[in-house]
Structure 1
Amino acid sequence: MITAEVVMGKKTGFIFLITLILGAILVAVFRYYPHHDEASTRQINAIAQPNANTLLNFTPHVSNVPRPAESFEFPIALGETGPMTNLYSGPNQYPFFCMTQESELGQPLVDNQQGLGIPVYSGEQVIGYSKDCSLPSQLFYFTLIEQGGSFSAVRLNEETARSHHSSPLFRVEQGTINRFIYTLVMPISRQEVGNRQGQSQWNKKLIYQFNGGSGIGYRQGRQKATRVMTRQAQQLLDGYAVISSSGNKTSYTYNMLLAEDTARRVKRQFVSLYGEPLYTVGIGGSGGGLAQYLIGQNSQGILDGLIPLYSYPDMITQTTYALDCDLLNNYFTFRADNPKAWRDWERRRLIEGLNAINEFPQKAGFLQPLNQLMAGFAPSFPDGNSECINGYFGLSAFINNPRQGFLRPFFSDEVIAQTRWSYWQDLKHIFGTDEQGFGKSTWDNVGVQYGLNALREGHISFDEFIHINHHIGGWKPQSEMRQEEIALPLGTRIPIWLTLWGNHNITKASDGPASRHSGSIPAMEQAYRSGQVFIGKVDLPIIDARHYLENELDMHHMSASFYSRVRIAQHKGHSDNHVIWVAHKDHNPTTAAFAAMDTWLLTMKQNPQLSAAAAKPVSLQDTCFNEDGSIYAAGSSVFDGQWNNKPQGQCQSRFPMFSTSRIQAGGGWAGDLFKCALVSVETAIEKGWYLPFNARAHLDILKKTFPEGVCDYTGRDVGRPSDL
């Protein structure tokens, strides 16, 4: 007779065999993986030292502080280089990897002979080095060709451009400003070829294109003219001019002060050539959306209207719940007393807040049995997936681990060893450093009661609630973090992101609960003051648009639009300048958003006394769209729901929204709290925070689990300066 135990034993044995095979494959792959000592001939082997440079005084908030007068004479002459040092955002960062070749612009100019930065070649001979990646400003000509509903940008030589008749023509200028690659795209006639300032086809409206991604600095970034053009092809055909910079792509930095400094100068280069536009509207998704929120909040004179796509309010408050993801994944995989209970992925959603779906495949699911086996657990393949994994896997290491975020083969082993690779280090001149030179972190989870809402609603037991909070722990101090790696049979160690959920960088329970991580209050205060946090202080027209992607476990969750709305309403008392559009993934509302924004901005131009809220067209409302582009519902209440404690609206019903781990722990929907004020467990019980669950009978175990107290989400953020 075949028993269940025999079946399970065979299944485990099969998984064990597959895991060993995967391990062997990884060993083989790693042997051919480009090690740092085998890296390209463009590798950085020595780090330059930055000169002192102006850093804006942020007190009380960057939006209240005037910017210094421009010190560089614009426009940059053709054949000359733009400024290599920013105007007011602090010292240059080194190492800094040049990416002009990746942008199809050739090698950067030599700026030293001391071996600093990347080598510059003539043939096979090194003729010098470039630490600041400068390029002379130069002109190119392109046309746009449509085929099958998509556009491609084709470069033309000057002679061909002069005789070009059949399709639109564009002049592109590229060079470097603040060490980043800038791009200006202007629609022109063929008679204007060779005339740098010709603009007869321009409609006098300007688009600043922002782009997203996750970055921690140390790279110039790639910017191809073809990519800038195809992203805004329809708008270029409609007569808009488009400008952008690799410094405004968050794949390369989330330093929003540097991003603002760079955007201001890129626009100044444009205006010095072509004059002031009627208006400048921002466009960009993900990090390119939050950059608009922050530049629109922090500064004047750059943007007049915002079209953030797939946006968050900012990067830094996103890390609050994003860095919970691997803590929770680590708990569910390695620390839970009953792991089978958490193989129901919809139960995980009760704790994580973000969506999770049973039987949804994981791209890197093979890593789970591999890590379990090496950790002494019975291996199992995951039978579901979550946004925490599908959207955020690897980001905790890249953003938070100073030993992890380098990008090989750009840097030698010596440079890697000397550099601390993290988001916090990218902003060290703003946030400050600790005694060991590590950039101070704002992330904090002291007193967070993970799964509190699920306990109150009866979805998890009290024992499960206690076990999660006893064992989840926190991220270790940066000085104690190690690069992720995995030990395979025969002792082989592979130093790539294979230590599942960074478990060796997470604190463990010993005599008491696993210790939590306490963030730096001075760093939090500086994050607020320097404008890295969106506090809702924006009066510009905003159309926040996104596709509905929750069912795909995409990291661009719909709720992020409402964090922004809550913050705007908290700051201004209303959010009438903020419109939210959510569309079925097969309908792109961007062209309609440009048309609506054009009407809105022209109304303000014609009536300068009107605020953005007063000038908003009556027809422009919160809206959700069907697959064919038709409107499913529109109006002031269509997105009502849990986030504003109102009955569910039509769009909220059509496109359900999820939350975050901190909301599930009792936090608010603004998501802008770094460090909660703490109260005793006794006080929390008296205030009824556990009801209808009777917590009074469990006072002792709660006090042992939360020895420092629990979060009071009715209070202010301890990290927020009181004068804001």
Structure 2
Amino acid sequence: MTRLHVLHRLHGRPGACLALAASTVLLAACGSDDEPKPVLEIKTLSNRADLVSDGDVLVQLILPAGATTAGLKADINGSDITSAFATRADGRITGLVSGMKVGANVLTVSGDDVSTTALTITNHDRGGPVYSGSQPTPFVCATPTPQGATASLPATNASGLTTTASDGKCNIATEYKLYYKTTAAGCSFALPDPSPAVAFTATTPPTTATPPANPCFKPYTVGGSTPADLATTTTDAGQTLPYIVRVERGTMNRGIYDIAVLFDPAKPWSAVAPQAQWNGKVQYNFGASTGQPRRQARPATAWTDDRALSRGYMVVNNSMTDSLQNSNRVMMSETVMMMKEHISDQYGAIRFTVGNGCSGGSINSNMNASINPGLLDGITVSCTFPDSETVTMEVADCVALVEAYQKPQWLALMTGQTPAQVNARKAAINGHMDQSACHGWYNFFGSNSKAGVYFQRTVPAANNDSGVIVQSPTATNNCQLPAALVYDPVTNPGGARCNAWSWAESIWGKATGSPAARDTRDNTGVQYGLKALQSGAISGEEFVTLNEIVGGADRDTNPTAARSVADAEALNIAYRAGIVMSGANLAKTAVIDMRGYDDSLINVPPGFAGIPAASLQGVALFGIHQQWRSFSIRDRLDRDGGGHGNQAIWRFGRSGFSPSATMATEAFTTMDSWLTALKADSSSASLEQKIRNTRPAAAGDYCLLSSDAAQSTKVTNAASCDADPYLAPRSSPRQVAGGPRSEDILKCQLKPVDANDYGGKLGAAQLARLNAVFPGGVCDWSKPGVGQQAAAGPLSFEAGPGGQPFPPAPVSRAKQ
């Protein structure tokens, strides 16, 4: 490609009057030969100039009208990099600026026809952070092979890389491997180099995993004979080629990542000249669950996505965007930004990015859209939750209720009742199909907020009818660290705190006078079972007693008789930063939400009959991915996003919470059509309106009824879908207490106890007791939540907790 010193002259007459937008450069006036030369624009393409990471960034030089490339020179911090720039096939002058130091770097460009122009580029370490603030410590780097614990260090996870970390940020040298897709029938899409299972205790190393016996992807050797079973594929651009994939594995923001894409080993690839089989589209896979271990790990999601790879998509993941490995949603969004910049710098321009994930993966998809709109153009999600802060409300409510149902005061009221009658009361209070859904929350995430060492408490499957709790004899902690390194209020108050708020202390800040981070948990004023009382499902005495005994939790997540009280500043941060999912921001993203049934551990839809309850709990069903969650998101869109024209809900009532391969493929191709049309829309309409305007007919709402054994008949009548017992949206404990289905009021405003609210079902003595429970008043759900406000993000936490809006993006200016 022709370098700058021999580039052709651009169209236009030198010396002609120039006109460029003031937002791009400062212009010199036209006039005599003695006047200053016009100024070109230096524009970073892969990220804002102040958010760059890993030492490189793709840059475009935009000449003013009439100027030529004669004598054009570029340097970074005084080092000549002119050879990095050239006029490319698309007519643009671009180049990869690399080798930058951490901190401020000055890129300077001059030429015969233009004034000397400079742009300050702020580069951040590959290991992060960029804008999420200080990283929590201790944090244990992965090793080439898993290692057992020592007296002071936990077991390490296997990195899938051959070298060890080079620094405290767990940066490990990047490696590349080639694989080919086999033509073998019945092959496994499991990873051909599987990561050993993550060790969930601090002392036991993960077990060694073995590759599948018949992997769909096998190692490919350059220069060797062509494998007899090498498959071919035809991309969505119609290009047919050998199905060979290159996998880049490295580290970014302390996470381990994989980038997989179709690759021709005989040809070069650069950001300014990508290989043609990549269609410029990225599928970003987010991992499920939620956690905050202090150990580096491989991604939980696999790169072996035939649906995407075969069509020419790039498949991307990073363990710091797996919800199980990182529950700091700002850091997670930052990691996506860093990964996208890396792709742009090394592979080329991205046409659009689709987020994909279930459960915690859906949280991360929605959180990207809310915290930093624009990172994802569309999302295809299943078993969907809006965000972790408001989901934590239901977890905390269920924990408090499950414990309350085993307290003597409640059990005394249940004397003489049949188990069915007792459980009907619990279901009415919980808002769920039955009592077991709260058991699901209690078992899987009820201890996730524990700050220190604890003994896991669960309701075993065999106890779903009685709700009797059992406690594990083995101590554990959520940091996956040795107990000696973990917080203890007496013996180690300065130890690592292992809940989500302390993991994200750079976002929340510390609570005054406490080692704990500020947090958003609050149930002050919440009248559990209010609608159950009003409907007659529970008695006045049961209602009052329940609210007397339910209590709350302290900062260490120990149960307390008093209600939980949120930190006011944490509430402000949660809303302002978009950590509570913003309907206004989500409206900027195309959404296909595939909602399966997971509303109970004991009431199972067709297809699950005969499966033991122990297998259902945690394998086939969790009881926590409730139907109403999709409509909670819709309510936020309707209230704050101008409607839900950007969201399609596809419900299915037969196969649990995971969509079939048929539905998943339909979602993939429909989203591809949607975003292709969106990117082609050059109108002046807002992004939100463009998304609604380009929504394809295939992206309408529908359901597959549980009675449909073939799961093939699409029903578009919402009332018919809602009438299906396995598709009906139910509610939550907070909604039964009077809260909105949007479920985004973390802390309610209060009003005095009003006897009229109880329909004459409470006597004077009971009202007096209720006033004693709620001396400050009860929730007034007609008002916004305390601290509830519009999202103002993206916010930077580089200067400390609380966050500040990003300043205007840096622009190039004439050098004085």
* TM-score, normalisation: structure 1: 0.72
Amino acid in the other structure paired with 1:270: I
Residues 160 and 229 of structure 1: CA distance in aligned 2, closer, same or farther (over 3 Å): farther
1:186-237 residue CA offsets vs partner (Å, 9 max, x unmatched): 112454599998634323321111111111252323227xx5223x222212
Report Cα offsets for 1:402-440 as digits up to 9, x if no partner.
444735764361455411111111122222212122111
User: Which residue in 1 is equivalent to 2:521?
Assistant: 443
Deviation at 1:401, TM superposition (A): 3.6
Following superposition, the deviation at residue 131 of structure 1 comes to 3.3
**Shift of the alpha carbon at 1:651?**
6.3
Closer/same/farther in 2, CA of residues 409 and 283 from structure 1, 3 Å limit: closer
Shift of 1:561: 0.9
Structure 1, residues 154-181: CA drift from partner, whole Å, max 9, x if none? 4415347773462222100011111111
SS at match of 2:179: strand
Equivalent pair of 1:161/1:190 in contact (CA under 8 Å): no
- Are the counterparts in 2 of residues 342 and 348 from structure 1 also a CA contact under 8 Å? no
Aligned twin of 2:248: 173
CA contact (8 A) 1:583 1:627 kept: no
With 404-413 and 577-586 compared, the bigger mean Cα shift is at 404-413
AA of the residue aligned to 1:70: V
Q: Which residue of 2 aligns with 1:98?
A: 141
Deviation at 1:390, TM superposition (A): 2.6
Query: Which position in structure 2 is the counterpart of 1:57?
Result: none
1:14-93 aligned within 5 A:
68-74=50-56, 83-93=126-136
Partner secondary structure for residue 703 of structure 1: helix
**Aligned position for 1:656:** 728
What is the rounded CA distance, in whole Å, between the counterparts of 1:565 and 1:695 in structure 2?
39
How far has the Cα of 1:556 moved from its partner?
A: 1.4
Hey, what's the Cα distance between the residues in 1 that align with 2:546 and 2:156? Answer: 51
Indicate the percent of aligned positions where both proteins have the same amino acid: 26
Task: Give the aligned residue type for 1:568.
Answer: L
| Structure-1 separation of matches of 2:721 and 2:530 | 26
Q: Which amino acid aligns with 1:564?
A: I
Q: Report if aligned partners of 2:432, 2:731 keep a CA contact under 8 Å in 1.
A: yes
Distance 2:338 2:316 in 1: 11
Q: Which moved more, 1:589-598 or 1:237-246?
A: 237-246
Could you tell me how far apart the structure 2 residues matched to 1:719 and 1:321 are? Answer: 19
Could you tell me which amino acid in structure 1 is paired with residue 484 of structure 2? D
| Aligned match for 2:407, one of 334, 340, 353 | 334
CA contact (8 A) 1:118 1:130 kept: no
Aligned residues of 2:394 and 2:734 also touching (Cα < 8 A)? yes
SS in 2 for 1:543: strand
Check whether the contact 2:291–2:478 (CA below 8 A) recurs between aligned residues. no
Against the structure 1 CA distance between its residues 709 and 723, is the aligned structure 2 distance closer, same or farther, given a 3 Å change threshold? same
Describe the shift of the 1:390–1:164 C-alpha distance in structure 2 as closer, same or farther (beyond 3 A). Answer: same
What aligned pairs does 1:173-322 form with structure 2 within 5 A after superposition?
173-189=248-264, 191-192=266-267, 199-223=275-299, 227-230=301-304, 232-322=305-395
Deviates more, 1:66-75 or 1:84-93: 66-75
Match of 1:613 in 2: 692
| Alignment coverage as a number of residue pairs | 570
Take 1:262 and 1:229, find their aligned partners in 2: how far apart are those partners?
17
1:560-610 deviation digits (Å, cap 9, x = unpaired) = 111111111110231111111112343342110011111111111222325
Contact in 2 for aligned 1:445/1:474 (Cα 8 Å): yes
Q: Which residue number corresponds to residue 709 of structure 1?
A: 777
User: Does the aligned pair in 1 maintain the 2:288–2:360 contact within 8 Å?
Assistant: yes
Rg larger for: 2
Question: Does residue 1:624 correspond to 2:624, yes or no?
Answer: no
Partner of 1:474: 552
Unaligned runs of 5+ in 2: 1-47, 58-95, 102-123, 193-216, 232-242, 455-475, 605-620, 793-816
Residue 431 (str. 1) matches residue 481 (str. 2): no
Deviation string 1:306-356 (CA, Å, 9 cap, x unpaired) is 112211110011111211112111111123123454843232111112332
Q: Distance in 2 between matches of 1:573 and 1:255?
A: 28
In the TM superposition, residue 658 of structure 1 has moved relative to its aligned partner by 2.2
Quick one: which amino acid aligns to residue 710 of structure 2?
A: D
> 2:448 touches 2:478 (CA, 8 Å); kept in 1?
no
Q: Which moved more, 1:610-619 or 1:84-93?
A: 610-619
Decide whether aligned partners of structure 1 residues 573 and 652 sit closer, same or farther in structure 2, where only a CA change above 3 A counts: farther
User: Is the contact made by 1:297 and 1:534 (CA closer than 8 Å) also made in structure 2?
Assistant: yes
Conserved? CA contact 1:188–1:199, under 8 Å: yes
2:568 to 486, 507, 521: 521
Aligned pair partner of 1:136 in 165, 170, 173? 173
User: Following TM superposition, by how much is the alpha carbon of 1:183 offset from its aligned partner in structure 2, in angstroms?
Assistant: 1.3
Cα 1:415–1:315 change in 2 (3 A) is closer
Q: Distance in 2 between matches of 1:679 and 1:451?
A: 18
Equivalent residue for 1:690?
Answer: 758
Q: Superposition pairs for residues 401-550 of structure 1, below 5 Å?
A: 401-404=451-454, 406-407=477-478, 410-411=481-482, 413-415=484-486, 417=492, 418-434=495-511, 435-478=513-556, 505-507=558-560, 514-537=561-584, 538=586, 539-550=588-599
Is the 1:208–1:281 Cα contact (8 Å) retained in structure 2? Answer: yes
* Cα pair distance change 1:188/1:540, threshold 3 Å: same
- SS of 2:317's equivalent? strand
Q: Secondary structure at the match of 1:634?
A: coil
Tell me the alpha carbon deviations over residues 27-46 of structure 1, each in whole angstroms, 9 at most, x when there is no partner.
Answer: xxxxxxxxxxxxxxxxxxxx
Q: Specify the code of the residue in structure 2 equivalent to 1:422.
A: N
Q: TM-score, normalised to structure 2's length?
A: 0.64
Unaligned runs of 5+ in 1: 1-65, 108-114, 358-385, 482-504, 508-513, 641-647
Equivalents in 1 of 2:453, 2:323: separation in Å?
A: 20
CA RMSD of aligned residues (A): 3.4
**Are 1:172 and 1:185, in contact at CA under 8 Å, matched by a contact in 2?**
yes
Task: Look up the match of 2:668.
Answer: 594
Name the aligned partner's letter for residue 514 of structure 2: Q
Task: Quickly say closer, same or farther: Cα 1:137–1:701, change in 2 above 3 A.
Answer: same
SS at match of 1:151: coil
| Counterpart secondary structure, 2:785 | coil
**Cα distance in 2 between the residues matched to 1:100 and 1:229:** 21
Matched, 1:554 2:591: no
Indicate whether 1:395 and 2:467 are aligned: no
> What secondary structure is seen at the aligned counterpart in 1 of 2:677?
helix
Give distance in 2, aligned partners of 1:409 and 1:673.
32
Q: Deviations over 1:633-652 (max 9, x none)?
A: 125xx1x6xxxxxxx75565
Q: Does 1:670 align with 2:742?
A: yes
Amino acid aligned to 1:242: V
Secondary structure of 2:758's counterpart equals coil
CA spacing shift, 1:466–1:160, aligned 2, 3 Å: farther
Q: Secondary structure at the match of 2:289?
A: coil
Cα distance in structure 1, aligned partners of 2:757 and 2:731: 19
State the shift of 1:128 in Å.
Answer: 9.8
Query: Matched residues in 2 for 1:410 and 1:302: separation?
Result: 33
The one-letter amino acid of 1:469's match is N
Q: Which moved more, 1:345-354 or 1:660-669?
A: 345-354
1:151 alignment partner, one of 167, 189, 202: 189
Q: State the one-letter code of the partner of 1:613.
A: R
Aligned partners of 1:667 and 1:158: how far apart in 2? 60
- Asked if 2 retains the 8 angstrom alpha-carbon contact of 1:305 and 1:540, the reply is yes
- Alpha-carbon contact 1:186-1:199 (below 8 Å) kept: no
